[in-house]
Amino acid sequence: MIVTTTPSVEGRHIAQYRGIVFGEVISGVNVFKDFAAGLSNFFGGRSGTYEDELAAARTTALRELEERAAALGANAVVGVDIDYEVLGSDNGMLMVTASGTAVVLE
């Protein structure tokens, strides 16, 4: 499965458009991850805990996007956009959404 942010794939012709597909992940950040991130915030530096959580959520959202495209008979997703949001009263939830157009390439 080809997944790209561009509206087309160089050297390939889009034979069919199968529709818009999404992959969504909402991930909670638990108290232990929050504590570790708080230490990074206090002492400075990067929060590996949050970075790992973000990377895992993005990977899962893209995998879900690919699975939904394949279920429509597509072999590629073009125009992919990834959005990030924080949710919840204490901003303790992370939402990652990947969207794009499922297509069949020749």
The string of DSSP codes covering 61-96 is HHHHHHHHHHHTT-SEEEEEEEEEEEESTTS-EEEE
pLDDT tens digit sequence for 66-78:
999 999 999 999 9
From CA 2, how far away is CA 16, in angstroms rounded?
15
Quickly state the pLDDT bin for 32 (edges 50, 70, 90).
Answer: very low
- Within 10 angstroms of residue 17's Cβ, the number of other Cβ atoms is 13
Residue 88, pLDDT above cutoff 90: no
Q: CA-CA-CA-CA torsion for 64, 65, 67, 68, nearest 10 degrees? A: 120
Q: Which region, left, alpha or beta, applies to residue 44 given φ > 0 means left and ψ of -120 to 50 means alpha?
A: left
